[in-house]
């Protein structure tokens, strides 16, 4: 069984080897021991702190094989993008150049450097061991974060965003960077990023062109790269798309990758999740699970420092028996132990397969 939980300093060696494997572009997972140590420390502080308004907290989760202790994935949430400063993106805009007199109307695509996403909460650090890409674990890794957000609304902004890697070749050469950033830096993107010494991208962004970029003036390869996803980013991206994130408006200022955003309440998992009382002793629980009539769900406790989430079959209370109503769900004792809940504790639950469940159905 797998469990998603806050990262601990003891996870450092494993996280370090994951960071070394992760793609260029997942800048939130730097292959650098000191920075990773800071990241975990800051995360532990974030989970532990009392928060009224989102600030500089950054929550870092690891996905652990509970049987072996092996870490097979990471994910994170930054409470407020660009908290200390600004969060830069390019906004896709259409400028209509029209003249009634000349009977001409042209739609011109331009990229505007903007701070629109500053202060949004940012989903970060997604990494899954390639062995598990075809399993349910990527869903747990990505979507359990949303259960944490749903439980801890005061810690996060009303909108979430997520950066996705843009296209580049095997050497990390990005056609978008080559056409835009390079003109102002005269260096490769990985080099520029390295030079910035792990400081926020703001540091680099301030050197980027501040005026809108007229897309028609860019070379073909750079035009194509705008909003184009790196193949490595497809899995986390598709999960976010299924959640209802919107990808048309913003792109990364360095590699042109799509930056998605959405209001928290509109996300599928947030709308479908329910806060329920857990029970390990509902009538016929074991039989229902064994017969396959339980609903495979992501289920998370409602703690912060002690946050745990897993995928498990759950049984909805029937209104009779121990739970005494449909606010109760039944999970196996093993699951209860894994996510550290006792009978009567609250949990957040969302069906794994949201497509097959009606949004309004209390009985999903």
Q: State the residues that interact with another protein by CB under 8 A.
A: 95, 97-99, 101-102, 104, 106, 108, 110, 183-186, 192, 195-196, 203-204, 206-214, 216-218
Contacts of 63 (CB under 8 A, 6+ apart): 2, 3, 4, 71, 72, 73, 74, 75, 128, 137, 140, 141
Q: How far is the CB of 103 from another protein (least distance, A)?
A: 10
For residues 154-167, b (16+ Cβ closer than 10 Å) or e, as one string? ebbbebbbbbbbbb
Catalytic residues: 230
- Judge whether 207 and 185 are in contact, CB under 8 Å: yes
**9 vs 98, beta carbon nearer another protein:** 98
For residues 48-71, b (16+ Cβ closer than 10 Å) or e, as one string? eeeeeebeebbbbbbbbbeeeeeb
**225 vs 352, beta carbon nearer another protein:** 225
**190 vs 321, beta carbon nearer another protein:** 190
**17 vs 105, beta carbon nearer another protein:** 105
Q: How far is the CB of 97 from another protein (least distance, A)?
A: 4
Q: How far is the CB of 12 from another protein (least distance, A)?
A: 29
Work out the widest C-alpha separation in the chain, in whole angstroms: 77
Q: How far is the CB of 176 from another protein (least distance, A)?
A: 13
Q: How far is the CB of 195 from another protein (least distance, A)?
A: 5
Long-range contacts formed by 19-24: CB under 8 A, 24+ apart: 21/127, 22/127, 23/165, 23/230, 23/232, 23/233, 24/165, 24/168, 24/172, 24/190
**200 vs 326, beta carbon nearer another protein:** 200
Helix (H) or strand (E) holding 222: helix 220-225
Helix (H) or strand (E) holding 220: helix 220-225
């Amino acid at each position: 069984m797998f469990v998603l939980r806050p990262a601990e300093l003891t996870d450092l060696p494993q996280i370090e080897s994951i960071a070394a494997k992760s793609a260029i572009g997942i800048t939130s997972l730097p292959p650098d021991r000191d920075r990773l140590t800071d990241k975990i420390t800051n995360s532990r502080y974030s989970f532990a702190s009392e928060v009224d308004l989102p600030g500089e907290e950054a929550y870092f989760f690891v996905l652990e094989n509970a049987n072996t202790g092996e870490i097979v994935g990471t994910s994170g949430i930054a409470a407020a993008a660009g908290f200390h400063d600004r969060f830069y993106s390019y906004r896709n805009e259409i400028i209509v150049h029209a003249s009634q007199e000349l009977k001409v109307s042209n739609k011109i695509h331009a990229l505007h450097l903007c701070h629109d996403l500053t202060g949004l909460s940012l989903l970060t650090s997604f990494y899954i061991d390639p062995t598990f890409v075809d399993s349910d674990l990527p869903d747990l890794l990505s979507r359990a974060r949303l259960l944490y957000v749903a439980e801890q609304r005061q810690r996060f902004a009303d909108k979430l965003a997520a950066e996705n890697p843009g296209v580049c070749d095997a050497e990390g050469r990005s056609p978008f960077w080559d056409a835009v950033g390079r003109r102002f830096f005269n260096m490769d993107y990985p080099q520029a990023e390295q030079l910035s010494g792990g400081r926020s991208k703001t540091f680099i962004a301030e050197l980027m062109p501040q005026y809108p970029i007229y897309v028609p003036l860019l070379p073909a390869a750079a035009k194509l790269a705008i909003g184009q996803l790196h193949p490595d980013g497809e899995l986390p991206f598709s999960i976010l798309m299924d959640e209802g994130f919107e990808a048309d408006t913003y792109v990364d200022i360095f590699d042109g990758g799509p930056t998605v955003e959405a209001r928290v309440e509109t996300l599928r998992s947030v709308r479908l999740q329910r806060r329920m009382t857990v029970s390990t002793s509902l009538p016929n629980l074991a039989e229902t699970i064994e017969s396959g009539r339980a609903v495979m769900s992501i289920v998370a406790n409602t703690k912060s420092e002690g946050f745990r989430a897993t995928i498990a079959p759950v049984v909805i209370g029937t209104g009779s028996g121990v739970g005494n109503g449909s606010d109760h769900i039944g999970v196996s004792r093993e699951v209860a132990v894994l996510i550290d809940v006792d009978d009567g504790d609250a949990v957040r639950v969302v069906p794994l397969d949201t497509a097959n469940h009606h949004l309004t159905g209390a009985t999903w």
